[in-house]
Structure 1
Amino acid sequence: MFFVLSKVIYFLITPSNFLIFCTLAGVGLAAATRLRRTGLGLAGFGAVGLAVGGLSPLSEMVLLPLEQRFPQYPADGPAPAGIVVLGGGIESGLSEARDQVIVNEAGERPIYFADLARRFPGARLVFSGGSGFVGGGVSEADIVSRHADVLGLPRSRLILENRSRNTHENAAFSAALVKPKPGERWLLVTSAWHMPRAMGCFREAGFTVDAFPVDYGTRGWRDVTRLHGFSSDGLLQLDLAVKEWVGLIAYRLAGYTPDWLPGPEAPSEAPMPADPPAGSASR
């Protein structure tokens, strides 16, 4: 129920959809009813909102707090016991229809999966991604399995989780599948803007992971001074950012994450040395 409801709500509140609905409803009210002023006001709100959301740096202002939440993983970081990559970067339906790997804006996820597999030959490799559609369909994990050679992934090391439909299920099903041991270091690869919610879900599932953010949509805070050359770019980014913020709120209310905006955990402090026994001489 949560999965279906989330899809319906997101369709309705997506900024570009919502502003278009406002514009059309306003035009309809102004043309077909006596509420002409109300209709024109609503249509104007929708039109101005589309222009501001598409051309201004509003989308960067909304997206940057998510992308900057977790630092990039250091190039000389220690070798992990395993790597978990979340689905979302492969168009599974198109890939099946065309019998080749077709990626979308989050295509960096499978790209870095192959790179990390090469860099850490001893790490276990987990790809977590179901169909993401109501009623099923081919999963992203199935596409990865079929085209592992194209992606540069070693088939003998792949562990595929193909049932998950959202981030909560990514974490829960991956944890149940690999059963990570206490003290093991695992990397979690997903889009930088998606990392806070993903890290929260994995923490709630009892799966300790280190963030490996990829697929950045911004260059940094300097982007808040830039305008978009195409309104479609700004609206696409704004839709993505608002969806993620709404997802964070919904997941916290559902108990899927432990915090409203999960962030890096503070390093545990080293235990203080015990006081020497009374009467002992210090050296």
Structure 2
Amino acid sequence: MFFPLSKLIFFVLTPSNFLILLGLLGCLLLFTEAGREFGRLLASAGLLGLLVAGLSPLSAWTLMPLENRFPAFAEDGAPVTGIIVLGGAVEADTSIGRDQITVNDAGEREIALADLARRYPQARLVFSGGAGSTREDAVSEAEIVSRFADTLGVPRDRLILEQQSRNTHENAVFSARMTQPKPGERWLLVTSAWHMPRAVGCFRKAGFTVTAYPVDYRTNWPRDAYRFASFASDGLSELDIGVKEWIGMIAYKLAGYTDEVMPRP
């Protein structure tokens, strides 16, 4: 129930969707005598909101606390037992249709998988990513990564595939169940920097101690603090990501999936 409900809530509360719906409601009210003034207010608020959200540095300020929470990984010579890469970057349907691995803006996760597999040849490699869809015939991200492992330069026989998870909570629970980590082992967790706080919180809740390996940064701080976007679509996209992640962290705390809204390093 949590998974489909979260999809619906995120759709409505995503800033770009919310502002468009707000403006659309305002436009509809313009055609009513009783709600004309209120409709004008809503339509203006929706348009102004899209301009501010899309062009201002608001998106950078929303993402900055998330991306800066966990520092970039620094090699210290300590042995690495395993590497866990979370899904969210592979476009499964397009990959199947085009017969080649296709990634979205979070493709650095797959780049890190290939790089870390080469740097730590003895480490166990876990890719955790289910279909993330309510369709019964949906193909999992893990299946795509396995199918195109040669393209990534990752030996298939090293891959441990977790294909059932649909969200970050399940990533953590199912990965812990498959790998059975032992005290003292060092596991690197690879995911987007803006997603790392919630991911680490979920893995800690599952009893799985991990070391953050953040990738896929969207901001260049502090340069972006006062920089306006060249395209409103870019600013809206980044603001959508940031707001959805903050909502997700609060929802996960309320659901008991994490112990803190904003886990510490």
Read off the aligned partner of 1:211 and give its amino acid letter. A
User: What amino acid is the match of 1:111?
Assistant: I
Partner Cα separation in structure 2 for residue 212 and residue 79 of structure 1 = 15
The residue number in structure 2 matching 1:123 is 123
1:263, distance to aligned residue in structure 2 (A): 1.6
For residues 51-106 of structure 1, what are the alpha-carbon distances to aligned partners after superposition, in whole Å with 9 as ceiling and x for unaligned?
00000000001110000000000144523100000000110111111111000000
3-state SS of 2:30 partner: helix
* Cα distance in 2 between the residues matched to 1:54 and 1:185: 40
User: How far apart in 1 are the matches of 2:175 and 2:95?
Assistant: 23
Q: Identify the residue that residue 188 of structure 2 maps to in structure 1.
A: 187
2-structure distance, mates of 1:64, 1:228: 16
Q: In the alignment, which residue of structure 2 is the partner of 1:234?
A: 235
Is 1:132 paired with 2:132?
yes
Which residue pairs with 1:245 in the alignment?
246
Matches of 1:29 and 1:69, distance apart in 2:
43
Query: What amino acid maps onto 2:16 in structure 1?
Result: S
1:222 Cα deviation after fit: 2.6
Residue 42 of structure 1 is matched in structure 2 by 42
Aligned length: 264
Deviation at 1:31, TM superposition (A): 2.2
Secondary structure at 2:34's aligned position in 1? coil
Instruction: State how far apart, in whole Å, the 2-side matches of 1:245 and 1:152 are.
Output: 35
Look up the match of 1:84.
84
Tell me the amino acid that sits aligned with residue 19 of structure 2: L
Q: Which stretch has the larger CA shift, 147-156 or 170-179?
A: 147-156
Take 2:27 and 2:234, find their aligned partners in 1: how far apart are those partners? 25
Q: What is the DSSP-based 3-state SS (H/G/I as helix, E as strand, rest coil) of the residue aligned with 2:261? A: coil
In the alignment, the residues of structure 2 paired with residue 16 and residue 33 of structure 1 have an alpha-carbon distance, to the nearest angstrom, of: 28
Which structure has the bigger radius of gyration? Answer: 1
1:84-130 Cα shifts (integer Å, max 9, x gaps): 00000110111111111000000000110000000001100000000
CA distance in 2, matches of 1:76, 1:154: 25
Unmatched runs of 5 consecutive residues or more in structure 1: 265-283
Matches for 1:1-283 after TM superposition, within 5 Å = 1-136=1-136, 137-264=138-265
User: Quick one: which amino acid aligns to residue 220 of structure 1?
Assistant: W
CA-to-aligned-CA distance 1:26-58 (integer Å, 9 cap, x gap): 111012333211110000000000000000000
Mapped partners of 2:67, 2:220: distance in 1: 10
Secondary structure of 1:32's counterpart equals: coil
Cα shift at 1:181? 1.0
Percent identity of paired positions between Structure 1 and Structure 2: 62
Amino acid at match of 1:152: G
Q: TM-score, normalised by structure 1?
A: 0.92
57-66 vs 130-139, which moves further: 130-139
C-alpha distance in structure 2 between counterparts of 1:76 and 1:30, whole Å: 63
Distance 1:167 1:146 in 2: 23
For residues 208 and 99 of structure 2, the distance between their equivalents in structure 1, rounded to whole angstroms, comes to 34
CA displacement 1:230-263 (0-9 Å, x = unmatched): 0000000000000000000000000000101012
Shift of 1:199: 0.0
C-alpha separation in 2, matches of 1:26 and 1:172: 44
Runs of 4+ in structure 1 deviating by more than 3 angstroms, as ranges, are: none
* Distance (Å, rounded) in 1 between the aligned partners of 2:22 and 2:182: 52
Secondary structure, aligned partner of 1:31: coil
Q: Output the CA distance in 2 between the equivalents of 1:194 and 1:260.
A: 12
Aligned partner of residue 72 in structure 2, secondary structure: coil
The alpha-carbon deviation at position 220 of structure 1 amounts to: 1.1
